[in-house]
Every structure is written in C-alpha cells, then in structure tokens.
Amino acid sequence: MIYFVKIKIAYKIKRGNGYVNHYRTMELPTRMKSIEDMNSSPEMILNLMASLKLTGKKVFDFHVSDELSRQPLSKSFAHKETDYKK
C-alpha cells in the first residue's frame, strides 16, 4: 500500500553551548508502515532533511516524532509487499 501521511518532525540546532528545539509538520506519500520504520531508514531521514534544507553540521537528533494522519492512496504496482520487509 501507498499511504499519504502527515507527520511531525523534531530536531535540535546547536546555538552556542546549548540546543534549540524545532518542530515541523510535513505531508508526504510513503510505503512505510510506522514511525519506527521511518526513523530506522537512513535514506528516508536524509531525504526529509534535504527537503527541509537541514544539511548542516549544526542539526542533531533529527527524527519523526508523531504521525498526525494516515490515508491509503493506492496499491503499488511496481513494488510487491514481499519485497518490502521492514
């Protein structure tokens, strides 16, 4: 299945000797089934960081914190469920 997911992203930016917490919401299509799948995939995290233009060395603890909504879009014809093991 392909889902249209609205997620909340949390990350920290280093300012001086401390950190400032930031939160953003995003909407994206994905085949990931849970938050744990999204956080365990380095490719997904790098794509999310690049889409938010957060590629600097000052960004720490970037992760998906909450899933706000999930709607099924369609079934994937290119990828089968058996190919997707996570």
Distance CA 6, CA 4 (A): 7
Q: Give whole-number Cα distances, 3 to 10, 58, 59, 68, 69, in Å.
A: 21, 31, 28, 13, 10
**Phi/psi-derived region of residue 37, left when phi > 0, alpha when psi is between -120 and 50, beta in every other case:** alpha
If one compares 75 and 39, the residue with the highest pLDDT of the two is 39
Q: Give whole-number Cα distances, 53 to 5, 27, 46, 50, 79, in Å.
A: 20, 16, 10, 5, 29
| Residue whose pair of structure tokens reads 């799948």 in the numeric block | 37
Say whether pTM exceeds 0.85. no
Q: Looking at residue 7, what is its pLDDT?
A: 94
Q: Looking at residue 62, what is its pLDDT?
A: 92
For residue range 23-70, list pLDDT tens digits in order. 999 999 988 888 998 999 999 999 999 999 987 788 899 999 999 999
